[in-house]
Amino acid sequence: MPELAKATALPVVYRCTIGAEWVDFNGHLRDGYYMVLFSSAVDALMDLAGLDEAGRKATGHSWFTLEAHINYLHEVKQGASVEVRLQILGLDAKRLHVALGLYPVGGTQLLALTEQMLLNVDMAGPRATVFAPQVAAYLQPLAALHAPLPRPAQVGRVMALPLAK
């Protein structure tokens, strides 16, 4: 499990630099590439939790994203060095509810946030199944550490406009 210096520190699960091929004509990170960053962070989390290539082969398990919401909070430009930090919002035997925040490396300004529901899947079915023991052993203490933390303001928001009458 990542060592957390204090209860409010969130583990960094992914880092990268924004390349030219990811930005639009305004020099801003294209909206789809935010999800690429967050998807790469989920892959990195899977590796940390024991579902790297060897773990997936040994267990036959993988994770599927059931739902994802992204809040774009500040522009991200070409050349920016960014990191994705993880907060576990909920965990049961088969599902993981996470918030993944995009920040400048070492910075405090939240650039974007995704809230995701992930499902553990036995690929032989495919069907939902409980986390393998080593994966649960990684996730449960981290979830307990995150339980008292405040939820990000963006979590659970609903997007809606009133219908015209």
Model confidence pLDDT, tens digit, residues 106-160: 999 999 999 999 999 999 999 999 999 999 999 999 999 999 999 999 999 988 8
Q: What is the Cα–Cα distance from 15 to 155, expressed in whole angstroms?
A: 22
Nearest to 88 by CA among 108, 58, 66, 117: 117
Nearest to 90 by CA among 140, 23, 42, 125: 140
Domains of the chain (ranges, CATH numbers): 12-146 (3.10.129.10)
Model confidence pLDDT, tens digit, residues 103-120: 999 999 999 999 999 999
Span of 2-6, 29-33, 47-51, 117-121 with lowest mean pLDDT: 2-6
Quick one: pLDDT at residue 164? 83
- Residue 103 near residue 82 (C-beta atoms within 8 A): yes
Q: Is 68 helix (H, G, I), strand (E, B) or coil?
A: strand
Stated pTM of the model: 0.90
